[in-house]
């Protein structure tokens, strides 16, 4: 089993790239990690068709910055509480990943956090259709991420990841891939032994 400190250590060595551009909407998401059945899992959500942006897409819990937020981390935590009922005090922040501009003119700031499990999630059914668990073991497979042609967005390659009956693509797949690349060297010795 990988100790949570391994994630924190790997992410502490990551040098976040920021992206600021007039007219782009700042947003933040949380990449929640939790230990279940002796394996780490990442929690994703499938958005409803009722939301304004990204209808039916698989994403991380999060959303757009609002003036009540002191910073983007607070945005991610507030949105997680609204969408899945995660108490901000239950999220232990382990690090950050690169800002990611999307084709819908959002700039996403991803934060990685460990959360307790099992957890009494309270899903906001106006925003979220379902919660999706992805094991770290499946993300570590050498063939886990498939490059989608030669397309790039602001210098980022586009990937997709297939999990059960789901196809995870776009910003969510890019964030997952970056997370796995950031932690791989730190955790692979623990997973191969």
Check which CATH number belongs to the domain holding 107 and give it. 3.90.79.10
On whether residue 179 sits in a domain, the answer given is no
Phi, psi for residue 180 in degrees, rounded to 5:
-65, -40
On whether residue 157 sits in a domain, the answer given is no
Q: Does an H or E element contain 76, and which?
A: helix 72-84
On whether residue 165 sits in a domain, the answer given is no
The string of DSSP codes covering 168-180 is EEHHHHHHHHHHH
Cβ density class 29-50: b for 16+ within 10 Å, e for less: bbbbbbbeeeebbbbbbebeee
Range of the domain at 129: 4-135
In a structure prediction context, what are the per-residue pLDDT tens digits for the chain, which is 193 residues long? 889 999 999 999 999 999 988 999 999 999 999 999 999 999 999 988 876 555 668 999 999 999 999 999 999 999 999 999 999 999 999 999 999 998 888 999 999 999 999 999 999 999 999 999 999 999 999 899 998 866 665 666 889 898 889 999 889 999 999 999 999 988 876 565 4
pTM of the model: 0.92
On whether residue 141 sits in a domain, the answer given is no
Number of domains comprising the chain = 1
Of the candidates 92, 121, 122, the one whose C-alpha atom is nearest the C-alpha of residue 30 is 92
């Amino acid at each position: 089993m990988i100790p949570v400190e391994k994630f924190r250590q790997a992410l502490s060595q990551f040098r976040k790239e920021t992206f600021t551009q007039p007219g782009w909407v700042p947003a933040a998401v949380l990449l929640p990690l939790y230990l279940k059945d002796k394996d780490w899992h990442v929690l994703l959500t499938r958005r409803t068709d009722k939301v304004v942006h990204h209808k039916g897409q698989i994403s991380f819990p999060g959303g757009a910055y609002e003036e009540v937020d002191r910073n983007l981390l607070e945005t991610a935590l507030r949105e997680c509480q609204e969408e899945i009922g995660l108490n901000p005090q239950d999220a232990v922040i382990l690090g950050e990943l690169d800002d990611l501009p999307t084709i819908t003119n959002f700039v996403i700031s991803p934060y990685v956090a460990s959360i307790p499990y099992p957890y009494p999630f309270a899903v906001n059914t106006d925003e979220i259709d379902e919660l999706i668990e992805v094991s770290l073991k499946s993300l570590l497979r050498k063939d886990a991420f498939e490059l989608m042609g030669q397309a790039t967005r602001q210098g980022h390659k586009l990937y997709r990841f297939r999990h059960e009956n789901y196809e995870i693509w776009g910003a969510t797949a890019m964030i997952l891939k970056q997370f796995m690349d950031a932690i791989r060297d730190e955790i692979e010795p623990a997973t191969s032994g």
